[in-house]
Amino acid sequence: MGLVQTLLSIGSLNAAALAVAALLFAVAFYRLHLHPLSHIPGPWFAAVSSVWMHAICYFGVEGHVLLDYHRKYKTAVLRIGPDSVSIADGEALHQVYVAGGGLPKDARYSNFRVEGHDTIFSAVDQNYRDRRAKAVLPLFAPSRIQSAYETDGVMEPLVAKFVAQLQEARAKPDAKIDVLDLCSRLSIDILTAYLFGCVYGGLDEPRRRPQDKLSATPFVLTIVALSRFSLLSNRLFTLLFSVLFHHRMRSDPELAPSLQAVSRFAESVVDGPSSKADTYQSRLRDAGIDREETLVQCKAVMFAGADSTAVVLATILFHLVQNPQVRERARAEASTAADPQSLPYLRAIVREGLRVAMANPARLTRLVPTGGLRLADGTYLPAGTKVGAAAYVLHHDPAVYPDPFVFRPERWLAAGQASTDAQARNAFAFGLGPRACLGRNLANHQLHAVVKAVLASGVLEGARTCTDRIRLIEWFNAEIKGHELEIAW
Q: Which residues are annotated as a binding site?
A: 437
Burial of 436 (0-12, 13-18, 19+ CB in 10 A): middle
Q: What is the 3-state secondary structure (H, E, C) of 476-487?
A: CCCEEHHHCCEE
Q: What is the 3-state secondary structure (H, E, C) of 343-393?
A: CHHHHHHHHHHHHHHCCCCCEEEEECCCCCEECCCCCEECCCCEEEEEHHH
3-state SS assignment for residue 178: strand
Q: Positive or negative CA dihedral for 433, 435, 436, 440?
A: positive
- d(C-alpha 92, C-alpha 98), whole Å: 10
Phi and psi angles of residue 488, each rounded to the nearest 5 degrees, phi first: -135, 165
- What is the DSSP code (8-state) at residue 232? S
CB proximity list for 227: less than 8 A, separation 6 or greater = 111, 112, 475, 476, 477
- What is the DSSP code (8-state) at residue 94? I
Residue 234 neighbours by CB distance under 10 Å: 15
Q: Which of 121, 55, 111 is nearest to 308 (CA)?
A: 121
Pairing of strands 77-81, 479-480: unpaired
- d(C-alpha 442, C-alpha 317), whole Å: 18
- d(C-alpha 372, C-alpha 381), whole Å: 6
- Upper half-sphere CA count for residue 121 (Cβ side, 13 Å): 24
In the annotated binding site for heme, the residues are 437
How big is the CA angle at 228 (ends 51 and 50), to the nearest 5 degrees? 15
Q: Which of 193, 190, 250, 248 is nearest to 221 (CA)?
A: 248
- d(C-alpha 403, C-alpha 333), whole Å: 26
Residue 371 neighbours by CB distance under 10 Å: 8
Strand partners, 387: 85, 366
